[in-house]
Chains A and B, each alone.
Chain A
Amino acid sequence: MKVMVAVKRTIDANVKVRVKADGTGVETANVKMAMNPFCEIAVEEAVRLREANVATEVVAVSAGPQAVQETLRSALAIGADRAIHVQTDALLQPLGIAKLLKAVAAKEQPRLIILGKQAIDDDNNQTGQMLAALLDWPQATFASKLKIEGDSAEVVREVDGGLETLAVSLPCVMTTDLRLNEPRYASLPNIMKAKKKPIDALTPEQLGVDVSPRLKVLKVEEPTKRKGGVKVADVAELVTKLRSEAKVIG
């Protein structure tokens, strides 16, 4: 069984994001980039499936400018076998990305496609669901446990009320939640090995996909800032303040 994993390059989760003064977006110049944390979990899960002899091959895919090859190298270092770079400098949005991934899936014929549940930059939480729709496959989103059994997968999902278990037929799309696994650190030898693994390049044109944006960002602003308040001396003062000043208890 071949597993395809979609990975996105995003601003590192530990970076304090700043909105650009001209309101066109956020500062990305000289900002540390990394693989979207949910995508790391996706790669890890796929590699574990191969290590458990459930998967035979793990193919990592990313769409974007030249720099996403760095992210693909990280996926290869975690243990993906090869990578596909869909090269484009165009502004990508979830529907366009889902169409690109569908076209790549048509070539690769994976039985399972794993995506992150959400990219931590745009916080969209859409691409996996859209891809599943376009492929007419089932979708197991926000997964915290995966068990492949023959032609189907049993997936535990994190939902608002707790946990939900679904049985989905393969092929399927799965998106990862935080607690699916803890991604390994790539070892130095594996980072070296990753440099020799192949990255194939494709373009949206070659895949016959129109990625024109459907959403136009008019402006990006800072949220209204909260002002820090006061320190209280003890619990009694806290309760008194909450009661008579803030009037939120009582």
Chain B
Amino acid sequence: MSALVIAEHDNKSLRRATLHAVTAAAALGGEVDVLVAGKEAGAVAQQATKVKGVRKVLHADDAAYAHGLAENLAPLVVAQAGAYSHLLATATTFGKNLMPRVAALLDVAQLSDISQVVSPDTFVRPTYAGNAMATVQSLDQKRVITVRATAFEPAAAEGGAGAVEAIGSKGDSGKTRFVKAELAQSGRPELTSARIIVSGGRAMQSGDNFKLIEAVADRLGAGVGASRAAVDSGFVPNDYQVGQTGKVVAPDLYIAVGISGAIQHLAGMKDSKVIAAINKDAEAPIFQVADYGLVADLFKALPELAAELDKQGLSKTKPST
């Protein structure tokens, strides 16, 4: 039994998301290899060899792999699949896009977003926005899996001593061309790895008002998230969305501000260690999951919160606002 983890990267460095899939792969009990397919991504392959628990890194170098296109990657993964009982990736948009394509080419089912490895053929996964946990057994010989990052600790990025093995490319499908990416640039921690997240909802009323959230987030060294309503209203970009159809996060502290607590939002944050909520409606469902609830108007509470953090000497950054 052995597992192949498909690495996610930007040709320069390995994305942290992959480390969670390595942990899930190791939980299967066999050897763990990593596939790095990219364009001049040798540094990523080297980085992957250092991940604790990794035996071997398969490295394919071709411009066709520069942008993680599933049409090009899937045949490459399938070509390597013979040697492995399990193929895994993290359930990011990269993994979700790629792995079902791989599974269908192999004529096997895919298991989405597993949160627990029960045995090499049995897994737990959330369904219905996390309201029902299903224990599912795969009847196929090969298992193609995406892994819920928040359910598996990241493998240590250092301490491994894997070897790199170059493998051939399967070329470009010619069907899909990468045009451009508009990726958010912020100095703040990424949502999926942030230790603290401050999220705003519809009640923020405008993108400009998110400055109130940012002022608190920056003091805490936190990431900034949002509900779907805040994204749909155009206050913040799509990559802020937390929930059933956005990102799943589990920070040490999640502060929900002006968010009602719809099940689709809870699906993305209810595994946070501590939840605090600020909402002016004492009956808001968010309070049913919040460890600490403050019934208050956010336009008053957020500036107070920033000031209080300064006062108690808890601000990480020099306050700018």
B253 in contact with A139 (CB, 8 Å): no
CA distance in complex: A16, B130 (Å): 11
A95 in contact with B109 (CB, 8 Å): yes
Least CB distance from A32 to B in Å reads 14
A163 proximity list for chain B (CB < 8 A)? 181-183, 237-238
Mark interface residues in A29-51 (1 if CB within 8 Å of B CB, else 0): 00000000000000000000000
Q: Is B1 an interface residue (CB 8 A)?
A: no
Most buried by B among A166, A216, A238: A238
A231 in contact with B293 (CB, 8 Å): yes
Q: Is B127 an interface residue (CB 8 A)?
A: yes
Task: For B134, give its contact among A126, A217, A232 (CB under 8 Å).
Answer: A217
A249 in contact with B291 (CB, 8 Å): no
Mark interface residues in A48-78 (1 if CB within 8 Å of B CB, else 0): 0000000000000000000000000000000
B109 proximity list for chain A (CB < 8 A)? 93-95, 214-215
A137-B175, A213-B139 known; A158+B238 contact, CB < 8 A: yes
Q: Is B220 an interface residue (CB 8 A)?
A: yes
B103 in contact with A235 (CB, 8 Å): no
B133 in contact with A17 (CB, 8 Å): no
B273 in contact with A167 (CB, 8 Å): no
By the criterion of a CB under 8 Å from any partner CB, how many residues of chain A are at the interface? 83
A139 in contact with B138 (CB, 8 Å): no
CA distance in complex: A141, B70 (Å): 10
CA distance in complex: A40, B95 (Å): 25
CA distance in complex: A220, B109 (Å): 19
B71 in contact with A138 (CB, 8 Å): yes
Q: Is B206 an interface residue (CB 8 A)?
A: no
Least CB distance from A245 to B in Å reads 9
Q: Is B56 an interface residue (CB 8 A)?
A: no
Q: Is B208 an interface residue (CB 8 A)?
A: no
Least CB distance from B67 to A in Å reads 8
A125-B100, A126-B103 known; A165+B181 contact, CB < 8 A: yes
B174 proximity list for chain A (CB < 8 A)? 169
Mark interface residues in A97-131 (1 if CB within 8 Å of B CB, else 0): 01000000000000000000110111111111111
B71 in contact with A246 (CB, 8 Å): no
A242 in contact with B274 (CB, 8 Å): yes
A94-B109, A166-B176, A214-B139 known; A26+B308 contact, CB < 8 A: no
Least CB distance from A3 to B in Å reads 18
Task: Return the chain B residue nearest A167 by Cβ.
Answer: B177
CA distance in complex: A116, B146 (Å): 19
Least CB distance from B33 to A in Å reads 23
A139 in contact with B93 (CB, 8 Å): no
B180 proximity list for chain A (CB < 8 A)? 164-165
Task: For B183, give its contact among A26, A161, A172, A213 (CB under 8 Å).
Answer: A161
Q: Is A11 an interface residue (CB 8 A)?
A: yes
Task: Return the chain A residue nearest B239 by Cβ.
Answer: A162
Most buried by A among B94, B245, B263, B274: B245
A216 in contact with B93 (CB, 8 Å): no
CA distance in complex: A164, B177 (Å): 11
Q: Interface of chain B, helix or strand or loop or mixed?
A: mixed
Q: Is A150 an interface residue (CB 8 A)?
A: no
A129 proximity list for chain B (CB < 8 A)? 70, 96-101, 104
Q: Is A89 an interface residue (CB 8 A)?
A: no
Least CB distance from B61 to A in Å reads 22
B270 in contact with A226 (CB, 8 Å): yes
B138 in contact with A215 (CB, 8 Å): yes
Mark interface residues in A145-163 (1 if CB within 8 Å of B CB, else 0): 0000000001001111111
A142 proximity list for chain B (CB < 8 A)? 93, 97
Within 8 A of B (CB), among A170-218: 172, 177-179, 213-218
**Residues of A participating in the B interface, judged by any CB pair closer than 8 Å:** 11, 13, 16-17, 19, 25-26, 93-95, 98, 117-118, 120-134, 137-142, 144, 154, 157-169, 172, 177-179, 213-223, 226, 228-232, 234-236, 238-243, 246, 248-250
Contacts A238-B305, A248-B274 aside, 11 further interface pairs with beta carbons under 8 A come to A123-B128, A124-B110, A126-B103, A129-B97, A129-B98, A141-B96, A162-B238, A214-B109, A221-B135, A223-B126, A229-B275
**26 interchain pairs (CB within 8 A)?**
A26-B131, A94-B100, A95-B104, A95-B108, A120-B128, A121-B127, A123-B126, A126-B112, A138-B176, A141-B70, A141-B97, A166-B179, A179-B231, A213-B139, A214-B109, A218-B136, A218-B137, A226-B275, A235-B294, A235-B308, A238-B276, A239-B309, A239-B312, A241-B292, A248-B252, A249-B309
**Residues of B participating in the A interface, judged by any CB pair closer than 8 Å:** 67, 69-71, 74, 92-94, 96-105, 107-113, 122, 126-140, 173-184, 192, 196, 220, 228, 231-232, 237-239, 244-245, 247, 252-253, 263-264, 270, 273-276, 282, 287-296, 301, 304-305, 308-309, 312, 314
